[in-house]
Amino acid sequence: MRLTTWNVNGIRNPFGYQPWNTVRTFPAMFDILEADIVVMQELKIQRKDLRDDMVLLDGWDCYFSLPKHKKGYSGVGIYTRNASCSPVRAEEGVLGVLPSAGTTTAYRDLEPEHHIGGYPTESQIEDLGVDPQLLDSEGRCVCLEFPAFVLFGVYSPANSSGLRDDFRYGFLCALDCRIRNLVRLGKRVVLVGDLNVSRAEIDTASSLDDMRKLGITHDEYISTPNRRIFNQLIIGGDVIGERDQGREQSILWDIAREFHPERNGMYTHWEQKINARPGNFGSRIDFVLVNSDMKHWVVASDIQEGLMVRQVSIQRKHNLLKYQGLRPLSGIRRLQGRN
């Protein structure tokens, strides 16, 4: 079973490039990738513009979270090959405050047997300092529950020149809280997607120059607020000083780094404005993270080289995750309609 995460910068965008421009269908694309689960970020499409060939795919189910207010912006989609795996529950958003498909009842208010669970408490939400409805309404998270694990497909807010730092920090805190709550409930978690944060100097080509310009040390670089939250979530993450309350334990493996611990240049993002990709001057901000007791399930993980995708300001590759020994899963076939 293979899981692929891909920031496509527009759901139609891949078909402008080889080999996708010769096949021009999603099932054919997924077959070339040899994928069973494909998590796409930055779909940049409105609900009304979703076409049948995007959502009615023979042999595949799909689940979307698209922004409710800012149209043609962000957006996450997950495609699952129904011969290999089918989720038993599907939700959008991190906090569970959005209404479930076809109802006016929030996911978090459904009966326990009908929701995924692990939602942050009211006090935990208040501590985020972010409007919960806004946080879940930007099309940034699809959550699927399989019998073996809960999968989060995520497109985290970007830095945006510091204009939304509070929102970005609140989103990462919400995600950290939800994942930890699920683990406490005894559920395994897989987190994949464009998290818009790097772990350490090895993950950013400009890190040493950035530190020199800012006049900061390694300890200060690694302790910036978003990076500190992220590293406390990751097993082996570099955390300076005492860990935050509630984040005493690391719970997810950065599986690509586990397979390639010393590899430099393992980047997934490049600034197109300076044509940074040919020289591989980029950063690694796209991840596949798996629960602590799932590490032995994984037989390979890597960044797929050479697949070009048109991007407006950035370009990304795929992260690949192969699972060993998972049986086909059964469950719901599709999130209702196009919700």
Domains in the chain: ranges and CATH: 2-323 (3.60.10.10)
Structure confidence at residue 321 (pLDDT): 59
User: Phi then psi for 152, rounded to 5 degrees?
Assistant: -105, 120
The per-residue pLDDT for 75 is: 96
325: DSSP letter: S
Q: Look at residue 199 in the predicted model and tell me its pLDDT.
A: 96
The C-alpha atoms of residue 211 and residue 8 are separated, in whole angstroms, by 30
Residue 231 backbone dihedrals phi, psi, to 5 degrees: -70, -25
Global pTM value: 0.91
Which regions in the chain score pLDDT beneath 70?
Answer: 160-161, 308-339
Tokens at residue 148, please?
Answer: 């073996």
Say if residues 40 and 139 touch (Cβ distance below 8 Å). no
pLDDT at 14: 87
CB 115 within 8 A of CB 107: yes
Torsion of CA 57, 63, 65, 71, to 10 degrees: 10
How would you list the strands of the sheet with 286-291, edge to edge?
89-92, 141-145, 150-155, 189-194, 286-291, 252-254
SS3 content of the chain, % helix, strand, coil (to 5): 30, 25, 45
Active-site residue 194, yes or no? Answer: yes
Structure confidence at residue 328 (pLDDT): 31
* CA dist., res. 85 & res. 103, Å (int): 26
| 73 has catalytic annotation | no
- Of the candidates 194, 254, 286, 302, the residue annotated as catalytic is 194
pLDDT at residue 85, as a whole number: 93
Q: Report the 10 Å Cβ neighbour count for 28.
A: 13
Q: Which one of the listed residues 79, 107, 119, 155 is annotated catalytic?
A: 155
Question: Do the Cβ atoms of 152 and 216 come closer than 8 Å?
Answer: no
